[in-house]
Amino acid sequence: MPKPLKALIIEDENLAAQRLKKLLLPYQEEVQIVGEASDGKEGLALIEELQPDFIFLDIQMPVMTGLEMIMQLEKQPFIIFTTAYDEYALRSFEENSIDYLLKPIQPKRLDKAIKKLLEITALQQPKLIEVNQLQEIVSQLQEPKTLRMIRAKVGDKIVMVRLENVLYLKAEDKLTTVVTTDGKEYYITPSLSTLLPKLPENFMQVNRAHIINEDGIYEIRKTFNRKLLFEMSNNEKITASSAFSGILKERWNF
């Protein structure tokens, strides 16, 4: 029996990484997870150290995106991209030693990707994706469509939270908390950096941990150190960081 392929998971959302590892349990004879990284920079270092046969790679990550990371690889392993954005133009991967999985990853789609990977690695000279192909893929990437609602899992149910009912989003403990106008809180796995590009213009990031809905602001005032403080309609007070205050002041000509 051939040795299992060494795999590396590069994913900034801890729950997504844990779900993937759970889905991979039936493939222990074919796939061995040898390491995990939470951003592209850490991923590069682990690839050099561990020399995996292939990687599961999130596209949208802080510090360095998955695509930016690949452009810096000296030796390219096989790649299975993971992404929450089905608008990404990834069809050109079909002819290469690359596949992609849409989040939340479905067992049947993962099984197809693993089988494709095993077929490709059995070839004597597998075809790897080239830099010019990567550049073409990058040029084809489309901006994600604006969200209309956020899906939150509550027990054995999925709750659809409409954006007009969202007061703000808060990052904490590897999860994102969605706070609504009626005082409810929902916990989701996508990070603020993943959500922000898909939110409408009335949502704005004010610090590393908060994205607020402009329609839910009750009052804005300056603090003693000239930062902006937002009092939301639920009386929650959120202070903009120095990095964001300048941009936000221009937004309201404050």
Q: 149-252 falls under which CATH superfamily?
A: LytTr DNA-binding domain (2.40.50.1020)
pLDDT at 178 over 90: yes
**Residues 109-122: tens digit of each pLDDT:** 899 999 988 888 77
In the chain, domain spans: 5-140, 149-252
Task: For residue 208, count other CB atoms closer than 10 A to its CB.
Answer: 11
Distance CA 59, CA 12 (A): 10
pLDDT band at 185 (very low <50, low <70, confident <90, very high): very high
Question: What dihedral do alpha carbons 141, 42, 78, 26 form, nearest 10°?
Answer: -110
CA distances, 224 to each of 210, 212, 229 (Å): 21, 22, 10
Strand-pair category, 217-222 with 228-232: antiparallel
- Structural Rg of the chain based on CA atoms: 21
Determine if the pTM surpasses 0.75: no
Residue at 62: amino acid letter: P
Q: 5-140 falls under which CATH superfamily?
A: Response regulator (3.40.50.2300)
The residues facing 149 across adjacent strands are 162
pLDDT band at 140 (very low <50, low <70, confident <90, very high): low
